[in-house]
Amino acid sequence: MSAILRVQGLSKRFGGFVALDGIDLEVQPGERLGLIGPNGSGKSTLVNCICGTLQNEAGSVQFDGDVVDGLAAHERTHRGLARSFQLPRPFPSLTLADNLRIPMLYTVHKRTGTPLHANSIEARCSELLQMVGLTGKARHRPRDLTQVEMRKLELARAMAAEPKLLIADESMAGLSHSEIEDILALLVKLNESGITIILIEHIMTAVMSFSQRLAVLVSGKKIADGKPEEVVRDPEVVRAYLGE
Amino acid sequence: MLPFTLLACAVAGGVFLIIREPNVEYLFVAGYTIVQYIVLATAWNILGGYTGYVNFGSAAFFALGAYSTVALATFANQLDDLVPESMAPIFHLIFPLSIPTLIVIGGVVSGIVGLGMGYLTLRLRGAFFAIATLAMAVVLQTLVVNWEFVGGSGGAYIVRPGEFPGLGSYMQYLFALMLTLAVLAVVIARAIERSRLGYGFAAIRDDELAAEASGVPTLRLKLIATTISGALMGMAGAPFPYYIGYLQPQSAFGLEYAVNSIAMPMIGGTMNWIGPLVGTLLLGTLQQIANVTISSAVNLLLVGLLLIAFVIVAPNGIVGLVQERLRARRAK
């Protein structure tokens, strides 16, 4: 089976600062990959380069068999690459249902060829809201939501684009234990429906229980990649997190 | 959409008949200005309200429409000097152009400039975009001031015919045309609001990065917005030389167009098509009354005071205020 995402030699600088330095990463279809690293190690920059929010200077990103370098973020979304943001970025003036409507209106038909019918958009909206447990709030605005609900909306909106690969960028930061369980269960359910997921997270218990494979970024370099239990025992990883 | 268009046409027709009844020419003169601002405010709102990009250069788009008309009218007057004798009969068939044709041409010219301006400036956000549009207005005004063919800084006279056959005074004809344009602008704005395009615009206004991540082609949509908005402003400007009779750069690029196009939607509400309409009817009428009763210089002062009041009392405009009240009452 060929990889759904193949990152080769990816590099990104901001002025003189090297944020990413020759990253190689492969993700197989249906896989659950955890991506960890200390603050400032380049995780979010990597996500931004993969999703097209930032353009990488060297190396390439292949998604679903095609090189996507140079494509704008929306074009990558059209191909089935969705993300959630580290800090939720809902559309504040739109209702929750309308928040989900945007990706449905702009993304889904790019792959199926036919625009969604108004009725099927409605149906899909309530289906997604039900999935994340926000059914009662379809007509509310994002400002009425709690933190955890905001994260769920963020995931639901990414899902509304019907992605093949979902990158969840710190969907659980700042949440309580039961809320983390909630989000984890949701991600596992999505994965079981066939969506490849990359989880970027600081909360180790969550990462360890979720990931089938774990990759570690430190100062813009990938220093480990493999089975989660082995990776966390890797001396280099321990040193990066705990010091000498 | 069709029922709404018919309704809008009926309202416009009704307004025309009511204003015509007292047989006072001044009502058409004043009414023209107000209706012209409906077009400008609605056009501004398509870019400024729907996508959140504040355009300070409305006057430039308006003036482009007006000066397209001046250029073509001047060309028509000097036809025999400008084209070879053998070609003259063909040109005499086409020129002088009718005002509806000039409106279309003004729209095309301003639409193209809108597209170009958008392409050059839409990578800027917030205040930087606003400053760029202001700069564009200054550049265009400088060009016109130095273009002798359309009168340069001295201005140009356009002779307005006295009568329009079958309707009465020419002012009535201009007013009817502007009413038609207003209907067109409002129908377009409302159609956009309820379409896929409108949702895309709203996503851009709320969060451009998230919009991209949701698959919205933000640059293309913003270009569509600047083009439609610019074109409508140009269309509003095209009949202006016939209205005013003597056009000079200071009046066509006047500050009041830029300010009013922003203030009217702000006061009415920028989230939907009703806002600019309400804002214009309120502010435009007040200005006309102030013009007659106090002085024309009070206009901008009035705008300033109202803007300050609304920023404090109703930052989402009149329509926003009403919607909030309704929502609060429903929640009780």
Report yes or no: A157 and A103 within 8 Å, Cβ to Cβ. yes
**Residues A22 and A10: beta-carbon distance below 8 Å:** yes
Inter-chain CB proximity B212 and A89 less than 8 Å: no
pLDDT band at residue A1, thresholds of 50, 70 and 90? low
- Interface probe for B, chosen from A105, A143, A165 (most Cβ of B below 10 Å), is A105
Using CA coordinates, name the residue in chain B closest to A80: B215
Instruction: With residue A62 as reference, give the H or E element that holds it.
Output: strand A58-63
Q: DSSP letter at B289?
A: H
Query: Among partner residues A83, A89, A105, which is closest to B199 by beta-carbon distance?
Result: A105
Which H or E run includes B277?
helix B274-293
CB contact under 8 A, A90 and B211: no
From B249's Cα to the closest Cα of chain A, the distance in A is: 40
Closest alpha carbon within chain B to A81: B213
CA distance A189 to chain B (A): 21
Domain coordinates of chain B in residue numbers?
2-254
Look at B202 and A53 and tell me if their CB atoms are within 8 Å: no
B311 near A CB under 8 A: no
Measured between alpha carbons, how far is A223 from A239 in angstroms, rounded to an integer? 11
What six digits make up the tokens of B330?
């429903």
Q: Give the closest residue to B25 by CA, choosing from B202, B191, B169.
A: B169
B95 vs A166, which has greater pLDDT? A166
Coil vs helix vs strand at B24: coil
* Residue type present at position B324: E
Q: Does B160 contact chain A (CB < 8 Å)?
A: no
- Is A77 close to B215, i.e. CB distance below 8 A? yes
Stretch A119-136: mean pLDDT: 90
Flag if A82 and B213 touch (Cβ within 8 Å): yes
Q: How confident is the model at residue B21, as a pLDDT?
A: 86
Over its length of 332 residues, how does chain B's per-residue pLDDT go in tens digits?
789 999 999 999 999 999 888 888 899 999 999 999 999 999 999 999 999 999 999 999 999 999 999 999 999 888 888 888 888 888 888 888 999 999 999 999 999 999 999 998 888 888 899 999 999 999 999 999 999 999 888 899 988 888 888 888 899 999 999 999 999 999 999 999 989 999 999 999 999 999 999 999 999 999 999 999 999 999 999 999 999 999 999 999 998 899 999 999 999 999 899 999 999 999 999 998 888 888 877 887 888 888 889 888 888 899 989 988 888 888 76
**Residues 6 or more apart in contact with residue A198 via CB below 8 angstroms:** A5, A27, A33, A34, A35, A47, A165, A166, A167, A168
* ipTM, 2 dp: 0.90
Return the pLDDT at B186: 96
Tokens of B115: 């597209």
Above 60 in pLDDT, residue A57? yes
Q: How many domains does chain A have?
A: 1
Containing structural domain, residue A107 = 5-242
Q: Given this model, what pLDDT does residue A171 score?
A: 84
The proportion of chain A whose per-residue pLDDT surpasses 90, expressed as a percent, equals 61
With residue A197 as reference, give the H or E element that holds it.
strand A196-200
Residue with tokens 């966390």: A232
User: CA neighbours within 13 Å on the CB side: how many for B290?
Assistant: 14
pTM for the complete prediction? 0.91
For A188-213, write each residue's pLDDT tens digit: 999 999 999 999 988 888 999 999 99
Q: Is the previous residue joined to B96 through a cis bond, with omega within 30 degrees of 0?
A: yes
By CB atoms closer than 10 A (0-12, 13-18, 19+), residue A112 is exposed
Largest distance between two CA atoms of chain A:
60
Find which of B207, B214, B221 to mutate to test the A interface (most A CBs within 10 Å of its CB). B214
Rounded distance, CA B43 to CA B142, Å? 24
Q: Domain with A225 in it: what CATH number?
A: 3.40.50.300
